[in-house]
Amino acid sequence: SAVISQKPSRDICQRGTSLTIQCQVDSQVTMMFWYRQQPGQSLTLIATANQGSEATYESGFVIDKFPISRPNLTFSTLTVSNMSPEDSSIYLCSVLGLAGGHEQYFGPGTRLTVT
Amino acid sequence: RKEVEQDPGPFNVPEGATVAFNCTYSNSASQSFFWYRQDCRKEPKLLMSVYSSGNEDGRFTAQLNRASQYISLLIRDSKLSDSATYLCVVNKGPRDDKIIFGKGTRLHILP
């Protein structure tokens, strides 16, 4: 499986500001995804990061709030914009495995606290 | 019916015992099934894929029942290090790379 890193690993931000999270993979991957895991909850898919085109967002998530970039096959960013305390969560990127069975591998996550 | 449903637990099990988790899914078109393990404050890690014929990996056995839309995970001879949350994961449908996570079952192995 690919080695995935995320930066920052954690941050504490003030409401109204924005934070950009980076996801770096050590090999080229076709599919990258961004998830949110709120306290005590399971993972919810925010969007699929598409290389060379706009991200595909899931219901309840919009580009203005969570702009995503995917400039190449090894890197993506997720920005959490105009943050509120409700955005406090763990944000994880993942990549599709190479075995063709839809399994995904996750980065270590970014723990965001909004005060 | 929720897309992926699991008993949240916690399951408190003595070391060395056998424990089984179940999971049901609502989309009969789903084709890929997985168990992930998530330790506290860590990312989910793939434990095993679940195949139609059932599969075993050491102390772990996964089974799929398509007719009942039901997946199970059996852990034999449980170890303290097995304490974690176990997430049942199902893909959304044929040729769909998106996956859906259950809320997880918490397992505590007691010494």
For residue range A14-51, list pLDDT tens digits in order. 999 999 999 999 999 988 999 999 988 889 999 999 88
Instruction: Please give the distance of CA B63 from its chain centroid, rounded to a whole number.
Output: 10
Cis ω before B10 (30° cut-off from 0): yes
The answer to whether the Cβ–Cβ distance between B98 and A45 falls below 8 Å is: yes
CB B84 within 8 A of CB B75: no
pLDDT reading at B72 higher than 90: yes
CA-based nearest residue in chain A for residue B103? A42
The answer to whether the Cβ–Cβ distance between A33 and B102 falls below 8 Å is: no
Which residues of chain B make contact with A1, given a CB cutoff of 8 A? 46
The answer to whether the Cβ–Cβ distance between B99 and A31 falls below 8 Å is: no
pLDDT reading at B81 higher than 90: yes
Residue B94: predicted pLDDT: 74
The answer to whether the Cβ–Cβ distance between A96 and B97 falls below 8 Å is: yes
CB A1 within 8 A of CB A27: no
The residues in B 65-84 lying below 8 A from A, measured between CB atoms, are none
Cα A97 to Cα A4, A19, A21, A87, B16, distances in angstroms: 12, 28, 22, 28, 33
The answer to whether the Cβ–Cβ distance between B98 and A48 falls below 8 Å is: yes
End-to-end CA distance of chain A: 36
Model pLDDT for residues B8-23, shown as the tens digit of each residue: 999 999 999 999 999 9
pLDDT reading at A52 higher than 90: no
Nearest to B101 among A42, A48, A103 (CB): A42
Which residues of chain A make contact with B32, given a CB cutoff of 8 A? 101-103
